[in-house]
Amino acid sequence: MEAELNSGETEDHFRRILASTIPSTTASTDEEALQILIDSSRTSHGRSALSEILPTVLRLLRSLPDHHPFLLPSLRLIRNLCAGDASNQNSFLLFNGVDEVSSLILGDADPQIVRAGLQVLGNVSLAGEDQRDAVWGRLFPKGLWELARVRDRCVADPLCMIIYTCCDNRGRLIELSGDQGLSIVSDIIKTASEDEFREDWLPLLLSKISLEESYFPLLFDKLGSADGITSEQAFLVRLLAENLDQRFNEVAISDAFSLAVLKIVDRASRAINFVSRGTSSLPTGDPAIDVLGYSLIILRNICAREDLPQTSVDSLILSGLIRLLLGLLRDLEPPTNIRTVLKNSDVIMKACPYSGFRRDVVAVLGNCAFRRKQVQDEIRNENGILLLLQQCSVCDENPFSREWAIWAMRNVFEGNEDNQNEISKLECQGAVDNPCITELGLRVEWDQNSGRARLVNITT
C-alpha cells in the first residue's frame, strides 16, 4: 500500500504529475495545467491516456481543505475521466471514490461542488451494478434526502440522474417508492417547481415512477396539502403531461396511473367553482385548474394510444370516464355562437375555467370513441349525442374545439347504426340544424323502404 500523504505532500506529488503529463511550456500555473487536463479528458483518447492519474486525484481530494482552489477543477477532471471509460470507472470504485466524493458533497458544501460531485457519481453509476450498489448504499436514504433539500436547480438534475440510473434495479425502485424515497422525490419536485426547472433527468425519473409504475398516487398525495391542491402537484401533472406528449409512443403507461388521473380529474373539478370564464391558456397559475387541464391532456393522449392494451382504456370506461366528461360538458355554458342566441336565458351555467377547457373535454371523448362501440353506445345512452353536436359550433375562448367536436362526432357515428338513427330522429324533429350535420359531411334522407330517416355520407 502506498503511504498516506499529507496535504502539502499530495499537492507536491500532484504538481510533479502535472509537470510530467503536460509540457512545461504549455501551462504557467497549476490552475492552467488542471484546465488543460480537464479539456483533454473530454475525449475518449484523452480519458484513456490519463487513466493512471485518477488515484492521485482522489488522494488529492481527500487531503484538500474546504474551498481549496484545486477542489472544483479536480472534481471536474474526475467527472470527465469517468464519463463512459470503464477503466476509470472501475478504478474510481477500487480506490474508494464513492465515499471520498460523497463526503465532499454532504454537509454544508458549495452548490458548485455538490453539482460536480453528483455528476461524478452519476457518470460512475452508468458503469454497472457494482457501481450503482456502491453509490446507492452510500447515499440512500439520508444522503439523498439531504441533497434533495438543496434548493438549487443545478443540483437537482445530476441528483435525478443518479436516482434514475440506480433505480433500474427493481429492489432499489421499491425502496424509492417507500415513504423515505418518495420524500426525496417530492423535495426535488419542490425545488424544481420554484423556478420551472425541467431538464432531462427529472422528467425521465418521474416517468419511471409515475407512468410505468404504480407510485403516482402516492407521490401526488405526498405533495398535497390539507388546504387543497398545491402548485407542486400542478407542476408534477404538467411535467407528466408534457413528457407523455413529447414521447407519445415511447412511454409505457400503467393502468394504475390512468385510473389515478381519472380520480384527479374528478377531484380537481370539484375544487373549482367554474364561476369566472378563464381567458388564460394552461398554465393559469391556479393549481386546481392546472391539475384539471393537464390531467385532461394526459387522458386525451392515453385514449389516443393504439399500442396500449385494450384493457387500459376499458378500465377508464368502466370507472366512469364517459359519464364524468359528459357531466362536465353538460354543466358548461354552450359555445359562443349558441350563447349569443340564448343571451336572454335565465339559466346559470358553469364557465370554462381556462381557455381550451371545452376543447380538452371534447378531445378526450373523441379519442375514446374512436372504434370503441361501447363508448359510442354509452354516449347515446347518456343523451350525449345532441350535447356533442352543440360543441360543433364556434367557441371564441376554446381554439379548435369545433374541429375536435367534428372529429368526436365522426367517431360516435362510425359503424354505429343506432347512433346514426338517433341523429336522424333529432334532425327530423328539428332538434339540430342541417348545417350542423352538413359540417360532419352527412345528410339526413327519408328511406321509403324502411319508413324511417337515415344518415347519408355526402363526402364520398
Mean pLDDT for the chain overall: 86
Q: What is the pTM of this model?
A: 0.86
The pLDDT score that the predictor gives to residue 7 is 52
Q: d(Cα 285, Cα 191) in Å, to the nearest integer?
A: 17
* pLDDT tens per residue, range 136-145: 999 999 999 9
* pLDDT tens per residue, range 370-382: 999 999 999 999 9
Residue 88 CA: distances (Å) to CA of 54, 127, 207, 431:
7, 10, 31, 76
* pLDDT tens per residue, range 192-208: 998 777 778 999 999 99
| Cell matching residue 110 | 458549495
Cis peptide before 55 (omega within 30 of 0): no
Which of 151-155, 222-226, 248-252, 365-369 is predicted with the least confidence, judged by mean pLDDT? 248-252
The pLDDT score that the predictor gives to residue 431 is 44
The pLDDT score that the predictor gives to residue 334 is 86
The pLDDT score that the predictor gives to residue 199 is 78
Cα distance between the two ends of the chain: 86
* pLDDT tens per residue, range 422-455: 877 765 454 445 455 566 565 545 444 544 444 4
Q: d(Cα 434, Cα 334) in Å, to the nearest integer?
A: 18
Q: Using the predicted structure, report yes or no on whether residue 457 has a pLDDT greater than 70.
A: no
Instruction: Name the band, by pLDDT with cuts 50, 70 and 90, for residue 356.
Output: very high
The pLDDT score that the predictor gives to residue 31 is 80
| Cell matching residue 457 | 355520407
Angle, CA 9 vertex, CA 4 and CA 12 arms, to 5°: 135
* pLDDT tens per residue, range 272-316: 999 999 999 999 999 999 999 999 999 999 999 877 666 678 999
For the chain, give the longest Cα–Cα distance. 105
The pLDDT score that the predictor gives to residue 452 is 43
| Cell matching residue 178 | 417507500
